Each structure stands twice: as structure tokens, then as C-alpha cells.
Amino acid sequence: MKLLVANWKENPIMLEDALTLAKQVDHQEVVICPPHIFTAAISKVLKKASTGAQDGFYEPHGPFTGYVSMAQLAAVGVKHVIIGHSERRALGEEETVIARKIAAAFEAGLTPIVCIGETAEEHKQGKVKEVVDRQVRSAFSLLPAGSVATSREAIICYEPVWAISTNQVPGMETADTPEQAQTVARYLEGIVRGMPVTSRFIYGGSVNQENLAAFLICPEFSGVLVGGASLRVPEFKKMIKIAEHILM
């Protein structure tokens, strides 16, 4: 089965609802990324799925009001952490900060899910490769050169910003992107080959039960990052069934 990463974003409101949702989609090769406040409780109820976080700070502890460190996430059972999501980049998160977070995630024993992708304007200007090249090289720039790659596994999520439902531009729908996404993944494979990290690629960008198979059958992708659809239990269960029948 290929990987399904569920990014709940700022949902749900109540812990009871979060626990109910988590239990209903508890399945192998599913990573559930709830709001920070629910991670500890969800880690305790999951039997098959893994708990992920939507972000984490690069300092392990200290006077950093409002932040949660990678070490703290690991201490409550978190295994994966999303870093560099387009919604955080849109709020001003810089690539230097993303690189520090990735280094901190590895230090804490977490697997980073590194989000990269171009905006609609960059896509129209033909800058896709230029953008993802810069983002990936910057993301892993703080890892010690020559270190053992097998000790660091990263998941790189190609998430074109224009394909996310809240950002979609007329004429640029998610369903049009599998072939283009494959091209980007192949390009990225060449870039990361010489880096001190082992990587696998997933796709993100308004993935749902209708377009899921089109991305999962691509050999370049080991899975997908799911946003809104991961909160709709019947739909997400159908997506799990689809993923079960597509081999790695």
C-alpha cells in the first residue's frame, strides 16, 4: 500500500471529534497530522497509523513563546512532521528557517515531510524546475556533507501551490497535473541523488477519491498528502481502499 498523509490543518475543534476521526481511519501506511494540541492523545489511541505534526520549531527548548519543538513532538509519539507547507511559506516562512527545521527534525528522530512547489505565476513563467531545485537544495543545505544517507529518510511532497483547492486558478485544475508532476519528480530524483539523505516522493494538491489513483499509479510517487478529503471519513476510507490495491 502507498502512503496517505492526512493533514487536518486547523480541524476539528474538539478533542472528542479528533479522537473519533482518528480511530475511524486508523490504518497501516496512514499518517495522521492533527493540530498540535491533539497529537499526544491521538498517538495513544492509534493502533496501526502513525501520528504526524503539521509543523515544529528548530530549537529543542528555551524562551520561544508559542512554539513546539521537534523533541517535544517526538516525546509524545509523533513520527513525522510536515515542514515548509505552502500555507506556512505564504505567511512568510523563509527557506533558511525551513532548512533549520529539517535539521532539527532529523536530530529528534522524526521523518520530515518536506513540501515544495511553485505558485501559479511561477508555473506560467516556466520556472517550475528552477523553483523546486532551489527549494530542495535549500531544504537539505544544513545536513552534514558526507554523512550516512541511510540514517536520514525524508519524504518530499511536490505540492504545486496553484493546485491546492483554496488557490486554484481557472484552467489549472489538479486533474491536469499527473504527467507534469511525474516530470518534476524525475527531475528531483536527480537533484537529491548526491545529498546525504534518502528520499521518497509524494504528491499533494487537492487530492481526493476521484483523482487519487491517477497519482498513485505513478511509479515516482510513494503516496500523497491529503488535505480536506482526510476530514471526510467515508471519502478517506475509500481512498485507503484505493491505496491498498496499488503496489509500491
Percentage of the chain modeled with pLDDT above 90:
83
| DSSP helix/strand/coil, 239 | helix
Q: What is the CATH number of the domain that holds 16?
A: 3.20.20.70
Residue 157 phi, psi (nearest 5):
-105, 115
Indicate which residue of 29, 87, 118, 159 is catalytic. Answer: 159
pTM of the predicted protein model: 0.94
Instruction: List, in sequence order, every residue forming a beta bridge with 158; answer none if it has no partner.
Output: 116, 203
Q: Is the per-residue pLDDT at 15 higher than 80? A: yes
Q: Which residues contact 224 (CB under 8 A, 6 or more apart)?
A: 2, 3, 4, 5, 202, 203, 204, 207, 212, 215, 216
User: Looking at residue 205, what is its pLDDT?
Assistant: 84
Cell 491533539 found at: 38
Catalytic site residue from 27, 80, 85, 123: 85
User: In this predicted model, which residue has the larger pLDDT, 85 or 175?
Assistant: 85
Q: What cell does 195 get?
A: 545529498
Phi/psi at 111 (5° precision): -95, 115
Lowest mean pLDDT among 3-7, 60-64, 154-158, 172-176: 172-176
pLDDT per residue over 34-80, tens digit each?
A: 999 999 999 999 999 999 999 999 999 999 999 999 999 999 999 99
Helices (H), 25-169: 36-45, 70-75, 86-89, 95-107, 120-124, 128-139
Classify 71 as helix, strand or coil.
Answer: helix
Number of domains in the chain: 1
SS3 26: coil
Segment 92-115 shows an average pLDDT of 98
pLDDT in the model for residue 145: 77
- Interval 144-166: pLDDT, tens: 876 555 568 999 999 999 887 65
Average pLDDT over residues 94-102: 98
Active site residue 16: no
Residue span of the structural domain in which 57 resides: 3-244
Residue indicated by cell numbers 537529491:
192
Q: How far apart are CA 197 and CA 124, in angstroms?
A: 31
Nearest-angstrom CA–CA distance, 122 and 161: 10
18 pLDDT higher than 90:
yes
Residue 206 has a pLDDT of 86
Residue 189 catalytic? no
Cell digits of residue 172: 489549472
| Main-chain dihedrals φ then ψ at residue 136, nearest 5 degrees | -70, -45
- pLDDT of 188-225, one tens digit each? 999 998 899 999 999 998 899 999 999 999 999 999 99
Q: What's the rounded Cα separation, in Å, for the pair 210 and 123?
A: 24
Q: Are 211 and 203 in contact (CB under 8 A)?
A: no
In sequence order, the 6+-apart residues with CB closer than 8 A to the CB of 218 are: 178, 181, 182, 185, 203
pLDDT at 175 > cutoff 60: no
Q: What pLDDT sits at residue 230?
A: 98
Give the whole-angstrom CA distance, residue 17 versus residue 14.
Answer: 5
Average pLDDT of the residues of the chain: 92
Q: How far apart are CA 20 and CA 63, in angstroms?
A: 34
Q: What is the mean pLDDT of residues 78-93?
A: 97
Query: Is residue 162 within 8 Å of residue 168, measured between CB atoms?
Result: yes
Residue 101, classed as helix, strand or coil, is: helix
Please choose, from the candidates 160, 214, 220, the residue with its C-alpha nearest in 3D space to the C-alpha of residue 190.
220
